Amino acid sequence: MTEEKELLIISPDNEFERESVPESHTKGLRSFVGMYAGEHAAGTEFAIGPLFLVHGVSAANLMLGLFLGNLMAVLSWMFLTAPIATRVRQTLYFQLERIAGVKLVKLYNIANGLMFCFLAGAMVSVSATAVGIPFNMKMPQLNDTMPNSIGWVIAVLVIGFVISIVAAKGYNTVSRFANIASPWMVLVFLACGIAAMPELGINSLSEFWPAARDVIWRGVPVEGQSQFTFWHVFFFAWFCNMAMHIGMSDLSIFRYAKKSWHAISTGAGMYIGHFMAWISASMLYAIQLQADPLNTTVAPGPMAVQIAGLTGAICVIIAGWTTANPTIYRSGLAFQSLIPKCSRVTATLFAGGLATLAGLFPALAMKLLDFVALYGLVLMPMGAVILIDFWVLPKLGMKSFFAEAAKISFHWGAGAAWILTLILCLVINKKFGLEIFFLAVPGWFLAAIIYIVGSMIIQKQRTA
């Protein structure tokens, strides 16, 4: 995520936190294109691309799944998030407080803060794979869940410590650095993809597809791993940023947009980061497997170095660091909101410590696809609540922003929509075996129905 975007959301100097953004402060399409273009070339892309290969995605399924899934993500931003954002022009947190009450927003903050910690932990892990190269560190293996060596523990602790201190003390400096690194990072991803081609036997464009089909994405999973289909890729690409679009987190961004269609700018991020970068990273992993089929570890550092040398290692470190920085900072702010007496520096260091602890466990990076899907799923129900509250409740003769109107601090209808949905999703997963990548589909409708029913009851009680 770009720091520019993060600053827009979370900077202590941020304006309009509890009011609508005035028309005079709205921004044009170009501001959002640049922001999103850099946003999705993050450290985690280095790990996500290879994991598609690990799960045996075929070339056709990957290309089509990514193309259509990313298209659905862009459409979700355009038709779900931005229309509300440009009408209300308030942050996610303020809208949620008006809908669900201040206490529920605090709970949401805990969930959000924890999820951000784990995400930052994955980024620390990614950076550690590059830092460990000069020390010949033993890389964690695909099935490793626990730290596999003292070297790994030291690398993660050192990186986590540095990132946490910087996030707490020098957030803005890293933010500015991340903006400068952003175009360079995008091109390093592209460079890796282009340079990987001859190594995979692609010497002309006409040779790309046969090699893609028969050499790179052969549709055979690594032993012991589940088989991914078109639907896995499609839903993963659509839902991996679900917290931002369907979950409505980016209300905080698009409240600044002049027009709701400006959300088309997210396409720049999707097709650079979640198409080109994932494919490039996937190709790097294919080279690794080609050299040694038994070397199935997803270690972005060595993968990037084999094709891009020192530039690749620097890119992995910077991509991990610059994305972990705002994530830890944001997580710290979420925790701080729960204990206002705690200083921002202390809260950020606490979040950084938690992220570092999470990063010690390679399972987080090796199971990143599952974690990213879980992250979106956990925050999704509140997005459904916001959408229903804005569009549907008035049509059913009910009031929007009822917590504000009735002065309640915990709207149990919204709380039930969140918690019950997650419990029901768990039941669907365990009883019917529906994988985590698909749970958001029934989950969204469950959250919507529970919130409508809950609102009917609570609004009837309060107005009786």
Partner 1 sequence: MMKKILMPISIIGLLLLVIGPVLFAAGKVDLPMNKNILLVGTILWFATAPFWMEHSKN
Binding site for partner 1 (CB under 8 A): 176-177, 179-181, 183-184, 187-188, 190-195, 197-199, 202-203, 307-312, 314
Minimum distance, C-beta of residue 217 to partner 1, in the bound complex (Å): 19
Minimum distance, C-beta of residue 275 to partner 1, in the bound complex (Å): 17
Would you say 57 or 188 has its CB closer to partner 1?
A: 188
Would you say 28 or 183 has its CB closer to partner 1?
A: 183
Minimum distance, C-beta of residue 145 to partner 1, in the bound complex (Å): 34
Minimum distance, C-beta of residue 311 to partner 1, in the bound complex (Å): 4
Minimum distance, C-beta of residue 207 to partner 1, in the bound complex (Å): 11
Four-point Cα dihedral 210, 214, 219, 220, nearest 10: -170
Minimum distance, C-beta of residue 11 to partner 1, in the bound complex (Å): 14
Would you say 192 or 263 has its CB closer to partner 1?
A: 192
Would you say 202 or 414 has its CB closer to partner 1?
A: 202
Would you say 50 or 312 has its CB closer to partner 1?
A: 312
Would you say 279 or 351 has its CB closer to partner 1?
A: 279
Minimum distance, C-beta of residue 308 to partner 1, in the bound complex (Å): 5
Would you say 75 or 191 has its CB closer to partner 1?
A: 191
